[in-house]
A and B are shown apart, each in its own frame.
Chain A
Amino acid sequence: MDRNGRRLTAVGLGLAALLPLAFLGVFFAWPVATIVGRGFVTGGALDLTAIDDVLGSARTWQAIGSTVAQSLVGTVLAVVLGVPGAYVLYRLRFPGRTAARALVTVPFVLPTVVVGVAFRSLLVEGGPLGFLGADGTFGAVVAALVFFNYAVVVRTVGSMWSHLDPRPEQAARALGASPWRAFREVTLPALTPAITSAASLVFLFCATAFGVVLVLGGPGYGTVETEIWVQTTQFLDLRAAAVLSVVQLVVVSASLAVSGWSRRRREAALRLQADGTVDHLVRRSDLPLVALTAVVAGGLLVTPLATLLVRSLRTPAGWGLDNYANLATTGSENTLEVSVWQATLNSLRIAVDATWIALLVGVLICVVLSRRPRHPGGRRAMGVLDGVFMLPLGVSAVTVGFGFLITLNRPPVDLRSSVILVPIAQAVVAIPLVIRTLLPVLRAIDQRLRQAAAVLGASPGRVFMSVDLPVLGRSLGLAVGFCFAVSLGEFGATSFLSRPDRPTLPVVVFRLIGRPGADNLGMALAASVVLALLTAGVIGVAERLRVQSAGADL
C-alpha cells in the first residue's frame, strides 16, 4: 500500500470510529454526566448536601447493604454450585449432554421479569413451595439470582475446563496426590482466572439485578437499583436518584475492573488442547457431582419454569386456556391501556429497531478495535478508543433509563414523544453484548491473513469483505439473536421510558402482577410464558448459528 492508501485507510477508520463515538457521546456520556451533575451541582456550584442527605439516610444504607449482601451470597452460591456443574457438563461424557448444556443456559437468557414471576408462582401462598413463606424475602431473591447466573459460571468455567490439558493433573496423581489434592493443587490454580472472571461477572449481574428484585422482593426489600426507581417514579426525588446512580456506577466500575483484569489473566494463562479428547465417561467417583448437578438443574432451574407453565393453565374455574385467551383483553378493570398481544407487537417492533442500532454501532466499534495500527500514534489512539468503547460494558440498565429520563426529554434533544427512545436505550444496553460476541472473533483473525489479501491486490475494503466478513458471518447471527432477546426482555431501562399507551411485554407483565385479581395474575403468568417462549426461540435459532470457537463464552 502506498502512503496515500495508508492515509485513506486511517481516514476510513477515523470515520468508522466517529459514528459510535457520537452515538455513545449523546446516549451514554451525556446522560451519565447529567446524572453526576444532578447529584453534585446546584445552580452552577458544587453542592454536596444531596450526598449528605442520601448517604445520611438509613434507607440508603439498607439498600446498599442488601445490594452487597445479595450480590455476595448470590455469587458464592453460583460459584459453589456452578464449578461442579462445569465439571459434569464439560468434562464428562454422557448421553444427553448437549441437551443438558442447553437446559442450563436457558435461564440466563430469560427476561428478568419472567424469572421473577416464575419464582413468585412457586413461592406465593398456595404455590408448590408456599409453605416456606419465602415470598418477598432475601432468600427468594438470592435463589432467583443463582438461577440466572448458574449458567454464567458453568459456561465460563466449563469452556475453559474443556480445553484444559488433563495430564498435569494426572502427573500430580502419579506423584502421589489424592484426587481432591490434585484438583486443589493443579487444576484449581489453572481454573482460577476463569472462576474469578465468572465470579466478577456474576457479582456485576447480581448488583445490577432490577426486574427480579422488583417482582420478588417484598415491600421492605430494596437494592440500589430499585431505590433509584422508587425515588424517581414514586418520590420524584431526582437528586437522590442521581446520587444513588453514582453509587451504582462506582460499584459497577469496580467489578468491571476485576472482571477485565481476570479476563486478561485467563487469556494469558490458557494452555489449550483440542476439545473432545479430554472428557471421559462417568466414573463411580463422579456420581456425587453428577447427583448435585442433577438436583440443581432439576430443582433450581426446571421447577420454577414448570410451575410457571402449569399455573398459567389454571383458572378460577379449573384448568384451561382462559388466561391465554385473556391476552387479547386489557385485563380485569382495564389494568392496561392496550391488550397484551398489542404489547407483544410493540416489543417485537422495538426489538427490530434496537437490534439494528446495536449491531450498526457494535460492529463499527469491533472493526475499529480489531485493527492493530503499526504507527505508535495510531496505537495510542487505539488504546484510548478501546477504553472509551468499553466504558458502557457493564453499566446498569436502570442508570441508562434514568439518565435518558433526565437528559433526553427536554431541549436540545427532546425524544420524550419519539418512538425511537426506547429502542435506543435498549441498544445501549445490548451493545456490550455485541462487542463481547464479535470482538474476540475479529481479534482472532491472523493479521497475516489480511496482509496476504492486501499483497494479492485487495483494497482495504476488499480485505474486510473477503477476510473479516466471512469469519464474522456466523457470529453475527449470534449477536443478532442476543440483541433481539435482550431487547425483548429488557425491563430496567424500559420501565423508566416506556409510555403507558406503548408498553412492552415485560412492562405489561410487571403491571399485571402488581395488580390484585386472579385474572390479572393468570394473565401475567400466561404473558410470561409467551415472553419466555419468544426469547428462548430467538436464542435457540441464534445458538444453531454459533460456530464452535466463536468467542462469547457467555
Chain B
Amino acid sequence: MRHLVVRYGTTTAVDAVSLDIDPGAVVGLLGPSGCGKSTLLRAVTGLDQPSAGSVCWNGADLADVPVHRRGFGLMFQDGQLFPHRDVGGNVEFGLRMAGVDRAGRGRRVAELLELVGLAGFARRAVTTLSGGEQQRVALARALAPRPRLLLLDEPLSALDRALRERLAADLSSILARTRTTALYVTHDHDEAFTVADQVAVMADGRILQTDPPDRLWRHPVDRRVAVFLGYRWFVPATALGLHGAPAACTAALRPESLVVDPAGPLVARVVDQRFARGASTLRVDVGGLGEVEARAPGADLFPVGGCVQLRVDPAAVALLDR
C-alpha cells in the first residue's frame, strides 16, 4: 500500500502509511490500541474507504475492487462465526461463495479442520465451542478459500494468556505450512514476534519502523519504538562501557539488561527488592545512570542501602542512533 490515508471526520486514523508485503511473508502490525492499525487493516480489506493513497496487489490498484472480489481473508478478534451455521457450515462458507461443488467443499472442510486440530468437529454447533476452538474455526474458515492475503485483526487478544501463547505458536506453524501471505495486527509484541517474519511498529496513525523481529529488538529506530517494546531506561552507551558501540549512541535498558555479578564492572546501591517468577529484581542507583532495575539470579536477599556489583548483558541492550 502506498501513502494510505484514512480519515473519520476530522480525525486522521491512518496517516500516509506505506507498507509492502512479500508473497508468503507474515507481517506483524504492532501498536498500542487506538494507533490506527485496525483501521489500516479495514482499508486493506476494502471495508473502509481510504481518503487518499492506494492499496495495490501485484501492481494493480484495488480501489475499484469491492470487498468480496479482493480474494482477501479476514479473521476477527472474537471469531464472528455465523451463529446459525454449524462448524462445517462456517468453514465452507467462502467455498460456497466461490461456487465450489459439495464434494469439493466437504474435502476442503475436513482438510482444514484437520489442519487446525479440530478434525471431526464439522457438525458441532459453534455455540458449544470454547473461545480457543472458535478461533481455530475462524482461522479454518478464513483459510478455506485460499486467500491471496490473510488479514488477522487481534485474533488471539480475547483469549487468556496460556492459551494465547499456545495458539500463537500453532498459528505461526499453520501460516508457514500453508505458505499464506498474511498481515497480523496485534498490540502484544510477544505475539507479533512469534508469528511474523517482519514487524511494523505503528503509533498515532504512522508506521515508525519495519524490520525483522531480531533487528527491531536490537536496533529500535527511536525512543518511542523502544519504549513500546519494553525498554525503560535510556543512558549514554559509553556509561555502560560496551565494546564496539559508537560513542554518540544511546543504550536502551530493560530490567533484564543488568545482572548482579560480583565480578561486574558497575557498582550500585540497592534501593528496593522484589520477587517475581523465581528471580528477584533489584531497584538500584548506579552512579552516572540514575535509578534503574537489575536482575539477581536465585533468591538471595540484598540489604537496602548496601552495594552490589552489576554486569551488562549485551544481548538485552538495544542501541539507538539518537
Contacts and interface: CB of A to CB of B under 8 A. Distances in A.
Nearest to A177: B97
Nearest to A168: B80
Interface stretch (A44-52, A182-190, A512-520, A522-530): A182-190
A176 B76 contact: no
B93 interface: yes
B47 A175 contact: no
A171 B68 contact: no
Given A170-B74, A182-B68, A175 B84 contact: no
21 contacts: A167-B80, A170-B47, A172-B93, A173-B67, A174-B45, A174-B70, A174-B72, A174-B74, A174-B142, A175-B68, A175-B93, A175-B94, A175-B97, A175-B142, A175-B145, A176-B68, A176-B69, A176-B98, A181-B97, A185-B93, A271-B83
B84 A190 contact: yes
Which of A165, A167, A171, A271: most chain B Cβ within 10 A? A171
Contact of A168 (B82, B145, B151): B82
A42 interface: no
Nearest to A283: B49
Q: Which of A175, A182, A189, A271 lies at the interface centre, i.e. has the most chain B CB atoms within 10 A of its CB?
A: A175
Contacts of A451: none
Contacts, number: 68
Interface in A176-231: 176-179, 181-182, 185-186, 189-190
A280 to B, nearest CB: 9
A171 B67 contact: no
Given A167-B76, A181-B97, A173 B68 contact: yes
Interface of B: 45, 47, 66-74, 76, 80-84, 93-94, 97-98, 141-142, 145, 151
Interface in A235-279: 269, 271
A441 B321 CA distance: 62
Contacts of B94: 175-176
Nearest to A170: B47
A186 B141 CA distance: 15
Interface in A479-535: none
B80 A174 contact: no
A444 to B, nearest CB: 22
Interface of A: 165, 167-168, 170-179, 181-182, 185-186, 189-190, 269, 271
**Interface of A, helix, strand, loop or mixed by DSSP:** helix
Contacts of A171: 74, 76, 80, 82, 141
A174 B67 contact: yes
Contacts of B76: 167, 171
Contacts of A172: 82, 93, 97
Contacts of A168: 80-83
Nearest to B153: A167
A348 to B, nearest CB: 47
A296 to B, nearest CB: 28
B74 A178 contact: no
Given A177-B93, A189-B84, 11 more contacts: A165-B80, A167-B80, A168-B81, A168-B83, A171-B80, A174-B68, A176-B69, A176-B71, A179-B68, A181-B97, A189-B82
A172 B142 CA distance: 10
Q: Which 5 A-B pairs have the closest CB atoms?
A: A175-B94, A174-B74, A176-B97, A173-B67, A167-B80
B145 A186 contact: no
Contacts of A170: 45, 47, 67, 74, 80
A185 B85 CA distance: 10
Contacts of B74: 170-171, 174-175
Q: Quick one: which of A167, A176, A182, A271 has the most chain B CB within 10 A? A: A176
A189 B47 CA distance: 22
Nearest to A176: B97
B50 to A, nearest CB: 14
Contacts of A186: 82
A175 B95 CA distance: 8
Contacts of B45: 170, 174
Contacts of A182: 68
Contacts of A174: 45, 47, 67-68, 70, 72-74, 142, 151
Contacts of A271: 83
A181 B73 CA distance: 17
A167 B76 CA distance: 8
Contacts of A269: 83
A190 B81 CA distance: 12
Given A170-B74, A181-B97, A175 B83 contact: no
Contacts of B145: 175-176
A276 B71 CA distance: 30
A304 B68 CA distance: 43
Contact of B47 (A173, A181, A185): A173
Contacts of B71: 176
Contacts of B151: 174
A188 to B, nearest CB: 10
B63 to A, nearest CB: 14
A175 B141 contact: yes
Interface centre among B80, B93, B94, B98 (most CB of A within 10 A): B80
B199 to A, nearest CB: 23
Nearest to A178: B68
B249 to A, nearest CB: 45
A175 B73 contact: yes
Contacts of A179: 66, 68
Contacts of A173: 47, 67-68
Contacts of B81: 168
A171 B145 CA distance: 13
A196 to B, nearest CB: 14
Nearest to B94: A175
A265 to B, nearest CB: 11
A175 B93 CA distance: 7
Contacts of B73: 174-175
